[in-house]
Structure 1
Amino acid sequence: MRPTVHDIAAAAGVSLATVDRVLNQRPGVRHVTREKVESAIRELGYVRDVAAANLAKGRTYPLVFILPASDNTFMHELNAEIRQAILRSPAERTDIRTIEVPAFDPAALVAVLEGLSREKPCGIAMVATDAPEVRAVVDRLVHAGFPIVTLVSDLTGSLRHHYAGVDNIAAGRTAARLLGRFLGPRKGKIAVLAGSMLVRDHRERLEGFTSVMAEEFPDLAILPVLEGRDDPEIAHMLIAEALGNADIVGVYSLGAGNRGLIRALKEKAVDRTLTVIAHELTAHTRAALIDNTIDAILNQNAGHEVRSAIRVLKAKADGLAVIEAQERIRLDIFLKDNLP
């Protein structure tokens, strides 16, 4: 049977009020008395249920999500999942708000983070732009006691507490293997569409992709990366222009902007001579899978990422351990045959 605060009070010979003051590190307890209580806690093996204590006190966790202001469907879906979390706030005792910053803009992200340092939320989840100035302000906030989780795109080398997202190097390697296998003995060039090399998830996907292509599919040459800034119009323009190269046999879209990609493919590649791998299952990419415009989609579950970020931030705010296996984000591979 688990020891209780009553057992601690009896063992230490003090009142319940004194035990409560010691557990909550409040003043008003003599040093010798505090040592008695702490000794009783150790001897009894008492482990405090922080979540239950917070529930009893009616504690609410103010959390902030920082997202890029971007006209891409995946970010819209991430926003929708956060809105669902806001609807669950009364049950989960959270107070969640979102802040949008211009996409791929380190200075804007730094300004928001510095502003939040004065507001003191219980935790911050952010889609990171990987830049030295962003890492510096994140490290300052962590040193100041702010729990921080990166979402979708990581900030490796910083002191952030957790990353809620897929293994992007593995995602890029998976895309390369799928593309190479689908193309078989064909030779030619591969067009790669990214959002921006300023974000780590895009860089890591490219790293994994180029590694496998070089090792196992040397007859497929990767063209210089097209940076569409996750904007459907820019992506359409870049891909439409690239498809004028008759040697292109495959396309890897490692970011967003897939609406523009799909439009360009439909305009040019009606004979389906191209093999296309893209990321994120949305209404647009689902339809493109079904009509054979895209061959495979690599997907991350936005809802799982949001729920994971909330769990981790609450745990860090309470000083509790994170269950790593529960927070691992799975990479899904969808063809038209296994769509959920």
Structure 2
Amino acid sequence: MVRRKPSMEDVAEKAGVSRITVDRVLNGRGGVKPQTEQLVIATAKALGVDRALNMMPTRILRIGVVLQNNTNSYYVKLREGFTRTAQQYKRYNIRVSFWYFEQITPEAAIKTLNKAAADCDALVVILFDDPQVVMKTEELARKMPIVTVASDLPATGRVDYVGSNALQEGRTAGALMGRFLGPPGGEIVIIVGFHQLLEHDQREVGFRNILRRNYPNCQIVETFQSFEQEDIRKDFRALLKTYPNLKGIYNMSVGNPGLAEELKAVGKDQTTCIITHTVTPERVALMNEGVVDAIIDRDPYLDARRAIEIQLCQAGRFSEEEVSAAQRPQIFIRENVRFE
């Protein structure tokens, strides 16, 4: 007996909607609520309606990306990643827009979040851990799916986090520092962007834990915030005067060229171990000069793609099995570094 193909009536009955609604969805006529559209497409797929498998949804899925207007190379690559992913997945009928806050203040971030939420169906956010920002994100997460990127806000009800395992990255940096300095150890300075970035805070915790447990002669003498400012030479110059025997720097922020200049000025550029994050032309050049010893990296494009895929999954346009896997830290030294 030949099994008949499922009809629109079958889909309508199974989904609990009218045949007209099914016709509008499957034939791309529009005018259907997003939740109903998702239900009809999922039902059609389950029943084996072939044309539902690769059809473009009729309604634009508006995904807003909220982030600091930062020239940091990771942010630049991340923005490029979102743009490329939007083009790559245009068959899913998505629109990706960018919403920037100029200052690292709760007021600026909340204002930008409100504007983005009013214009979008879903948000991807790169934010800092502040009580007001957390409260606003939690409020919005009850109305729309939110994915955090780079630095997590786990208590907000966000649907997922995309980015590094910051504790793992910090432990990796600690293990590298301990190995580079060897048994004598020495004084080490940690540079964070700012403590309200949970990612930076967790990296510091992981770094400290590994040194304390496995490399007791490595002594962390100070942690200071760069506030993501490129030029921190004045502050670093003062640190070098305070700690003339400095042996290691773990810089998880920006400003490596300035650090290199100050170290060169006192003849310590080849004897002070620097471990940092994100492969850039400037950092590769410093590594080739022997100033930077190791770079811990991840691909921002893959972070952007995974965040968009999770939102597509939330909208019923992507399956969980199709979502890209999370990245692991990559370690680069002078012998294997590359820049693309």
TM range, smaller chain: 0.7 to 0.9
Structure 2 CA distance for partners of 1:316 and 1:273, relative to 1, 3 Å: same
Q: Deviations over 1:185-243 (max 9, x none)?
A: 1232101111100110000000101111111111111122110111111x222223222
Letter in 1 for 2:301: G
Worse-matched range after superposition: 264-273 or 222-231: 264-273
Q: Which of 183, 196, 199 is 1:198 aligned to?
A: 196
Cα offset, 1:246, TM superposition: 1.6
Structure 2 CA distance for partners of 1:193 and 1:292, relative to 1, 3 Å: same
Q: Secondary structure at the match of 1:225?
A: strand
Cα offset, 1:58, TM superposition: 3.7
1:17 aligns with 2:16: no
Cα offset, 1:294, TM superposition: 0.4
User: For residues 49 and 238 of structure 1, what CA distance do their matches in structure 2 show?
Assistant: 64
Count of aligned positions: 323
Letter in 2 for 1:17: R
Contact 1:5 1:16 in 2 (8 A): no
Residues 30-41 of structure 1 correspond to what in structure 2 (within 5 A)?
Answer: none
User: For residues 191 and 311 of structure 2, what CA distance do their matches in structure 1 show?
Assistant: 33
Query: Is there any run of 5+ residues in structure 1 with no aligned partner, and where?
Result: 28-37
User: For residues 127 and 156 of structure 1, what CA distance do their matches in structure 2 show?
Assistant: 13
Residues 236-315 of structure 1 correspond to what in structure 2 (within 5 A)?
Answer: 236-244=233-241, 245-270=243-268, 272-315=270-313
Worse-matched range after superposition: 320-329 or 278-287: 320-329
Structure 2 CA distance for partners of 1:285 and 1:23, relative to 1, 3 Å: same
Worse-matched range after superposition: 152-161 or 6-15: 6-15
Contact 2:193 2:225 in 1 (8 A): yes
Query: Is there any run of 5+ residues in structure 2 with no aligned partner, and where?
Result: 27-31, 34-39
TM-score by length of 1: 0.82
Letter in 2 for 1:126: V
Residues 112-127 of structure 1 correspond to what in structure 2 (within 5 A)?
Answer: 112-119=112-119, 121-127=120-126
TM-score by length of 2: 0.82
- The percentage of aligned residue pairs carrying the same residue is 22
Contact 2:287 2:333 in 1 (8 A): yes
Structure 2 CA distance for partners of 1:264 and 1:214, relative to 1, 3 Å: same
Contact 2:81 2:300 in 1 (8 A): yes
Letter in 1 for 2:211: M
RMSD (Å), alpha carbons: 3.5
Cα offset, 1:91, TM superposition: 4.5
Cα offset, 1:10, TM superposition: 9.6
Contact 2:12 2:18 in 1 (8 A): no
